[in-house]
Amino acid sequence: MSKLYAVSDLHVGSPDNRQAVAGLAARPEDWLIVAGDVGERFEDVRWAIERLRDRFQKVIWVPGNHELWTLPGDPHHTRGEERYQELVEMCRGLDVLTPEDPYPVWRAPGEEPTVLAPLFLLYDYSFRPPGLSKEQAVARAAGSGVLCGDELLLHPDPHPSREAWCEARLQLSARRLAEVPERYRLVPISHFPLRLEPAVLARIPMFSLWCGSRATEDWHRRFRARVVVSGHLHLPGTTWRDGVRFEEVSFGYPRDRARGGSSGLRLREVLPAEGFADADTDADTGVDLDRAVGPGAAPLPE
Ligand SMILES: [Fe+2]
Ligand SMILES: [Fe+2]
């Protein structure tokens, strides 16, 4: 049976990670979600997407923050929206689906047809602690030694700010999600987590500023999510909320895996995932099934 897998944060600028992608076995019947942070340099991203496309029946990509960086020395020096559109066109040229394409329906024998919704949402600093302005929160984060590289490298052009770009993406995405016929449940796919709770990392709580938006806190209920797929935190694992399964599918840097994660490139099975009956828990405690890294040892995402 065809399966739907997911992975994110391949960061192929790291030689170990590049090797892991190069060595990935083909699964010609299966689909793969690539949930952002493939790499920083445009040609690195293309290299990895091409390899993955060769090995799967269908590949779906959403951007992470790293793809949107404009690095000094990268011949592709486009910024912001223009860079995003270039990445979309590159993917389309490789027959890879993006957030700008119609949402595909995943079907398998005996399985509920499910709409896959690749989303590009970004973040708007609303995951900051209450009572602080964005500027105060960023200053506090920087003072504690945490400053996301996005502040220097992820340009929002032509939007006036990253939060304005995020707002535009939230509106567009909510509109498209609302158009999905009610008979379908969905798999929302975003590099950035939809909910605040998992984004407050034990070791670096202020990093949550660059992780998402409070506007998506209820999207798993509002848009009939069957499974939610995200990355960015470099904390792979499965949690449950309101009977919905949330999969954090990061591969991460070698140093993340050295802290307790798996060293091999493990793809997360999103569907059918027979081990998981849908809504087999209504726990609001976020049951942590196989988080690879425990509290206090949170890896540093970038
Ligand atoms: Fe990452
Ligand atoms: Fe990221």
Q: Are 247 and 204 in contact (CB under 8 A)?
A: no
In the reported structure, the alpha carbon of residue 192 is separated from the centroid of ligand 2 by a whole-number distance in angstroms of 7
> What ligand has the least distance to the C-alpha of 62?
2
- pLDDT surpasses 70 at 277: no
For residue 242, what are its two tokens? 């309101």
Query: Alpha-carbon distance 83 to 28, whole Å?
Result: 30
Query: Alpha-carbon distance 217 to 209, whole Å?
Result: 15
- pLDDT surpasses 70 at 294: no
Model confidence at 258, in pLDDT bands (50, 70, 90)?
confident
Residues 18-50 as b/e (b if ≥16 CB within 10 A, e otherwise) read: bebbeebeeeeebbbbbbbbbbbbbebbbbbbe
Which 3 state secondary structure label does DSSP give 213?
Answer: coil
CA distances (Å), 247 to each of 10, 231, 234, in order?
16, 8, 12
Say how many Å lie between the first and final Cα of the chain, rounded: 36
Domains of the chain: 4-271 (3.60.21.10)
Quick one: average pLDDT of 182-211? 93
For ligand 1, a single-atom ion, the residues with CB < 5 A are 9, 37
In the reported structure, the alpha carbon of residue 112 is separated from the centroid of ligand 2 by a whole-number distance in angstroms of 31
Of 197-201, 212-216, 254-258, where does the model show the most confidence?
212-216
pLDDT tens digit sequence for 202-212: 888 899 999 99
Share of the chain above pLDDT 70, in %: 89
In the reported structure, the alpha carbon of residue 80 is separated from the centroid of ligand 2 by a whole-number distance in angstroms of 15
* pTM of structure: 0.91
